[in-house]
Structure 1
Amino acid sequence: MQDVKQSETPEQLKLENQVCFPLYSAANEVVRAYRPFLAAHDLSYLQYLVLMVLWDAQELEVKALGQRLNLDSGTLSPLLKRMEAKGFVLRKRGSDDERVRLISTTEKGEQMRDAVADMPKLVACQLGLELDELKQLKRLCEKVLAAS
């Protein structure tokens, strides 16, 4: 066997110099912070996101919901089926085009809005950031997303 000569890793390839790793880790930490609060309401993080979009939009086509959440149909369809089985959403066919699937909240889904109203404050407290820091972090994340 040949000895492989170890060369020094260039600075730009060192993990501690990457923006991707702390961003990835922080995103996971934020989602983990939500879990205990959401579990008390039998919700996953993605189900919570779906409800937030539907509370604002009332009713949406599945395609539009997927675009809003950056989720493909392979992720969204089973998620919506589980939410329907739990009684949070109603899936129906479009009246003009039966290929179109429409999603809306049920009464139980609407009631969940009040049940989770304090969720952002609870999670913010867990993250240990001030309100202005959270707003700055959100703006920076939106800037990254807009550039992609």
Structure 2
Amino acid sequence: MNKYDKIKLQNQICFPLYALSREVIKKYKPLLDKFNLTYTQYVTMLVIWEEEKIMFKELAKRLHLDSGTLTPVVKKLEAMGLIIKYRNKDDDRNVTIEVTNKGLLLKDEILEVPEKIYCNYKGDEEKLILLKQLLDQLLLNTPNE
């Protein structure tokens, strides 16, 4: 083993995660195009649908996104009429995001997306479940900055 083995692409933890993530997100694109959503908008809506009303800071934390990345996503979702955002009356630094009726209607329509994604991995369901569990554990142990 030479000293440069640790910087070979094949020995990096990040690369297969990155490559698989790109491949999976690519599979979402045609499904989400039907709803005029990007992948980032979709995962943002998943959290908003779960909570129906959430503080911006909590949304960013749940998505592991910084404010600069999430702000334009939220603005676009608001412009699409899927959410509303408003400042807290007691503390205008706190922004609340809330799903609209139009957003709730989309929730019912988009139920097909996860089912169609899983169809791409027939025969690998157990591996997917294990991978998700392992990734969730690693994310829990990763400081959210």
- Check whether TM > 0.5: yes
- Structure 1: how far apart are the matches of 2:86 and 2:4? 55
Structure 1, 31-40 or 130-139: larger mean CA deviation: 130-139
Q: How does 1:1-148 map to 2 (within 5 A)?
A: 10-128=4-122, 130-148=124-142
Task: Specify the SS of the correspondent of 2:45.
Answer: helix
- Structure 2: how far apart are the matches of 1:105 and 1:32? 26
Task: Specify the SS of the correspondent of 2:120.
Answer: helix
- Structure 2: how far apart are the matches of 1:17 and 1:128? 28
RMSD: 1.6
C-alpha displacement at 1:9, in angstroms? 6.7
Amino acid at match of 2:58: A
C-alpha displacement at 1:82, in angstroms? 0.7
- Structure 2: how far apart are the matches of 1:142 and 1:47? 21
Cα deviation digits, residues 24-61 of structure 1 (max 9, x gap): 10011111111110011001111111111111111111
C-alpha displacement at 1:147, in angstroms? 2.4
Task: Specify the SS of the correspondent of 2:111.
Answer: coil
- Structure 2: how far apart are the matches of 1:146 and 1:60? 20
Structure 1, 11-20 or 75-84: larger mean CA deviation: 11-20
- Structure 2: how far apart are the matches of 1:96 and 1:129? 53
Report % sequence identity: 36
Q: How many positions carry a matched residue from both structures?
A: 141
**Deviation >6 Å, runs of 4+:** none
Amino acid at match of 1:10: Y
- Structure 1: how far apart are the matches of 2:94 and 2:120? 40
- Structure 2: how far apart are the matches of 1:128 and 1:16? 26
- Structure 2: how far apart are the matches of 1:88 and 1:100? 20
Indicate the structure (1 or 2) with the bigger Cα radius of gyration: 1
Does the CA contact (< 8 Å) of 1:30 and 1:127 recur in 2? no
C-alpha displacement at 1:19, in angstroms? 2.4
- Structure 1: how far apart are the matches of 2:7 and 2:86? 49
